[in-house]
Structure 1
Amino acid sequence: MKLFTKNIILTLMAAAGFAMVGCTDKLDEPELNNNFAGGTDFTKTADMKLSIIGVYEAFQSRGWEQPLLISVRGDDVNAGGLGDQQDFAETDLFNYNKDYWMYNSLWENIYVDVISAHTAMEQIERYQEFADESGVALGNQYIAEAKVLRAMMLFNISQVWGDVFITESSDTGALLSLTSVPTQQEVMQHISDQMDEAIPFLTNMRPNERTDLPGGATIYTAYAIKALANQELKNYQAVAEAAGKIINSGVFSLYPDYYELFKTPGKLSNESILDLQYSDFGQGEGDSESHLYAPYGPQNWTPAVEGASSGWGFFEPSMKFIKFMLDRGETTRLETSVLFTDRGIAELQADPNYSNLPNFVSNTTRDGDIINDYARALFASGKHYMPSNQLIPGRTGYGSNKNYSIIRYSEILLMYAEALAQGASGNVMSADQAVNQVRARANMPALSGVTLDQVLDEKFAELSMEWGKRYFDMVRLKRFDELSYDGRTFTEGKIFLPYPQAQVDQFPILGN
């Protein structure tokens, strides 16, 4: 179910005057960022909900380039051969251009949305001045939800750049007076602390159990983000404890069909902890909330449903990942993660070790879509693929109606297992039990005495092509040799992207 109904979105835009801020607006224009409510009547406390809806709308308004840029540097994925976005391909090779538009777009748009979260929190506090006891409590919940979404955005941007701004309010002018930029460690600790502040006010249920804002943040979303932040800090005991809270709740489970998890049947499943949510509202024309998935799709296909659009070929599962999966005997997860072309299959078979491939390695998906050869890549991402037969009739856009998973329960199980392998203690389950739950769904045999290397291999198999999780694991653990593959050379100095020059020009502290 869509997080926001169409009517709520339209009401928000009309009544609250909320306008999404475009990528060309500057963060040093607080008058644009601080007053999306216009002349809001804060005595109408029932309208408080519009403020938190505005935060969710901002959060899910990710441009197509943002998750691609976050994800592209791992050994699980390659940039397609791009004639018109060469600096994206160069980023995949660890050659960075501080003037590249994608860098500035990621930085600026996330901070605009972070400021929107602050604005909403300040508005909700204004509503609370006129609210009764239950209204105050609801306002506290909404503020906590805004903190969760803000934290996820800060987490993403700090993974990419390391030392980044910690905004304290909607006053962007305050950033101009900073004398130093918070370190990545300070940002991650701030995120963890913010989740501790938020947790007491959040609903105690799965996101898909919420009826007011289905799929919205809950206490478990906050615990998940706390675990992620402490994983970056290498505070593995805190990771085990936060992940253990989620596991011990007993309310989450792995969606039984890994292939369908990333498609319509898996939307807002019991595995979902945080998603970007999109919908065609069950209709073949008219209003739609969508993400542009075309960059992930093959440039050339013969869809089972005639008229379904192809993609751009910007995002390619790596040959290293595919061979890793074949070596492990992976079936469902490999079929789900990779769309094969005949050219890609031939390239695989050119290696004598892979001359005999399993039957599911085919250019025709189980849904009947044929992935034809195209120039930019040998393979396309299956995790970002919506079968043409699952598109709502009348909708032809690649991936239309598809949600974008951010945090899944399987990642929580594997983070917990890694924390234990790193020396943390946990009494919820053993590392073996956590890893084997994930493996069982993938029809992989159980392991005993799980090692850190085995946990990391499991994360590689389970989470590849999802928000750069593989890249950031390798960086965190200084396994730089893994990132030096297929002619690439990775060094520690390449961990973070350079600050966008447009931002250094606005905030000179970034250049110091």
Structure 2
Amino acid sequence: MKLFNKISKPSLVLLLVLAVWGCTDKLDEPELNNNFAGGTDFTDASGMLLSTVGAYEAFYSRGWEQPLIMSVRGDDVNSGGLGDQPEFTEMDRFNYSKDHWMVNSLWENTYADVISAHTAMEQIARYQEFGSDAEIALGNQYIAEIQVLRGMMLFQISQVYGDIFIPESSDTELLLEVETLPTKAEVMQHVSDQMDLAIPLLPDARPNERTDLEGGVTKYTALAIKALANQELANYQAVADATGQIIASGKFSLYPDFYELFKTPGKLSDESLLDLQYSDFNQGEGDRFAHLYAPYGPQNWSPAVEGSNSGWGFYEPSFKFIKFMLDRGETVRLETSVLFTERGIAELQTDPAYSDLPSFMTKITRDNDTINDFARGYFSSGKHYLPSNQLIEGRTEYGSNKNNNVIRYAEILLMYAEALTQGASGSAITADQAVNLVRERAGMPALSGVTLDQVVEEKFAELAMEWGKRYYDMIRLQRFDELTYDGRTFTEAKTFLPYPQPQIDQFPVLQN
């Protein structure tokens, strides 16, 4: 992870220890006094960097279950069956339990990281009390960066739960005094407003252009999150304005190889506006900063590099998605998005319309990993796959060293195009041009006079398996029938997950 490579290893180890300690019982004890910084010399402004990187570390430290919960309810992906998490499978079928540990984990740990963000901002403000003008300005930039991370977390948790808390400080006792939860619309407006405050203070650069914290957020990350929040509000002119600024900057471009975009060569490409960064620090043993990708991987494979671990089979692309892609004549996006098994291919071919399949649909990936049949699923997610020959020698964990794309320029182009088809105006490029840039990389023919339906379908093809983007599009557009598929029945009442029972017990306002 290049951002963390800027910190010396002793400092990194200290940072990780502090971050883990600081996240303990965040929702039980107030952080107002920044107790974990006791003894810190706030006259030494260089400490602002450590506080900032600590906020990034908290943001990057997703539990394995968190992205899965955010995304499993879409029609692009299914939970793996026969697993040891039956309530996760039930969630995929829109049967929710407020007692499920995953439901509580997402809420509790996201808020722990939000509180960590407030703690870091409060620490930086204490450094600024003793700083020079230049140090105060740098502190303002760091605070703006953390506001962006905080905004993204609030955005995501509100997508999942709807009405939520908006902490304004690290003092969690204040949440006990909340009598009415901010609505989802109020959360999205808050996120948009926070991005407006942050944008003028942030670097005018791509994340990969930053030399201080490579891959850190910039003004364009904030513009992207502003666009996402306003998309949820159906404020399409604001979406067009924010995405139009990103496009008109000329700083971003699509990584030319869609297959490698999600692998080591695509790390921090010119397409990235926000990634979760992970690293083995280019060494086969010792320190690493990692995400657990095993839930996405196949239970059984024969890797090209012997000894590379397989996955758990918890997360598989749906037959609906695969058929949709075949009907469109998709090639590289389908090959990239899905790891196929013989069993899955055979099941697909039981439908006479799909008896003759393209040659790239095989159990052997282009990197010569063989995806064997496994009990929990027919397929696995290719977007969460790192070929075994791209693992650093000595590392065996599935997906080790792989980044996780959160916001890509392709999504910005498609958001811009959708906003224009929804009636907004924009001068950066046309909706046709935006969509066709994405289609060109995928080897798809150009469109003319694109419609809203075509943009939505393009988003399905481009963004499947990524953070539930398909599910939240269907919710936002009220296309609920799309989510009723393969024996599942969706109703609008199933839009949000329930508040976790441990949180209801602690915060009575959640009982309303």
- Does TM, normalized by the shorter one, top 0.5? yes
Distance 2:13 2:508 in 1: 35
The answer to whether 1:483 aligns with 2:464 is: no
Amino acid at match of 2:195: M
Report whether the alignment pairs 1:90 with 2:90. yes
Q: TM-score, normalised by structure 1?
A: 0.98
Counterparts of 2:33 and 2:250 in 1: how far apart (Å)?
Answer: 41
Q: Counterpart of 1:127?
A: 127
Aligned residue in 1 for 2:413: 413
What are the equivalent positions in structure 2 for 1:24-173 lying under 5 Å apart?
Answer: 25=25, 27-31=27-31, 34-173=34-173
| 1:332 counterpart = 2:312 | no
Cα deviation for residue 26 of structure 1 reads 5.0
Tell me how far 1:11 sits from its aligned partner: 1.1
Q: What amino acid does structure 2 have at the position aligned with 1:348?
A: L
User: Given that residues 31 and 170 in structure 2 are in contact (C-alpha distance below 8 angstroms), is that contact kept between their aligned partners in structure 1?
Assistant: no
Single out whichever of 130-139 and 335-344 deviates more from structure 2: 130-139
Secondary structure of residue in 2 paired with 1:449? coil
Structure 2 residue 503 is matched with structure 1 residue 503: yes
Which residue number in structure 2 is paired with residue 379 of structure 1?
379
Deviations 1:347-377 (A, max 9, x none): 1111000000000000000000000000000
Aligned partner of residue 482 in structure 1, secondary structure: helix
**Map of 1:283-294 to 2, 5 A cutoff?**
283-294=283-294
What residue is the counterpart of 1:196 in the other structure? 196
Deviation at 1:22, TM superposition (A): 8.5
Residues 165-204 of structure 1: per-residue CA shift (max 9 Å, x gap): 0000011000000110000000000000000000010000
In structure 2, relative to structure 1, the CA distance for the partners of 1:361 and 1:440 (3 Å cut) is: same
Matched residue count: 512
Aligned to 2:207: 207
Whole-angstrom distance in 1 between the partners of 2:435 and 2:353: 28
Is 2:341 the counterpart of 1:351? no
Matched letter for residue 241 of structure 2: E
After superposition, the CA RMSD in angstroms is 1.4
Contact 2:31 2:172 (8 Å CA) reproduced: no
2:266 corresponds in structure 1 to 266
Q: Which consecutive segments of 4 or more residues in structure 1 shift more than 6 A?
A: none
* Counterpart contact for 1:315–1:381, Cα < 8 Å: yes
| CA positional deviation for 1:16 | 9.8
Q: CA deviation at 1:38?
A: 2.1
Cα distance in 2 for residues equivalent to 1:23 and 1:14: 14
Alpha-carbon separation, structure 2, partners of 1:305 and 1:319: 29
Give 1:184's aligned amino acid: K
Secondary structure of the residue aligned to 1:3 is helix
Which residue matches 2:307?
A: 307
Matched letter for residue 449 of structure 1: G
CA 1:33–1:460: 2 relative to 1, 3 Å? farther
Summarize the Cα distance change of 1:7–1:202 in structure 2 as closer, same or farther, 3 Å threshold: closer
Provide the C-alpha distance between the structure 2 equivalents of 1:33 and 1:404, rounded to a whole number of angstroms.
Answer: 33
Helix, strand or coil at the partner of 2:181: coil
Relative to 1, partners in 2 of residues 1:31 and 1:201: Cα closer, same or farther, differing over 3 Å? closer
Cα shift at 1:509: 0.4
* Residue segments in structure 1 that go unaligned for 5+ positions in a row: none
Contact 1:78 1:317 in 2 (8 A): yes
Please give the alpha-carbon distance, in whole angstroms, between the structure 2 residues aligned to 1:198 and 1:293.
32
In the alignment, structure 1 residue 401 sits paired with structure 2 residue 411: no
- Cα distance in 2 for partners of 1:486, 1:80 equals 14
Aligned partners of 1:503 and 1:376: how far apart in 2?
32
Aligned 8 A contact 2:98 2:500 in 1: yes
Aligned-partner SS, 1:43:
coil
2:224 maps to 1:224: yes
Is 1:278 matched with 2:275? no
Q: Distance in 2 between matches of 1:24 and 1:12?
A: 19
Cα deviation for residue 23 of structure 1 reads: 7.9
Q: Distance in 2 between matches of 1:508 and 1:394?
A: 50
* Residues 9 and 417 of structure 1, relative CA distance in 2, 3 Å threshold: farther
Q: Is the 8 A contact 2:83 2:314 kept in 1?
A: no
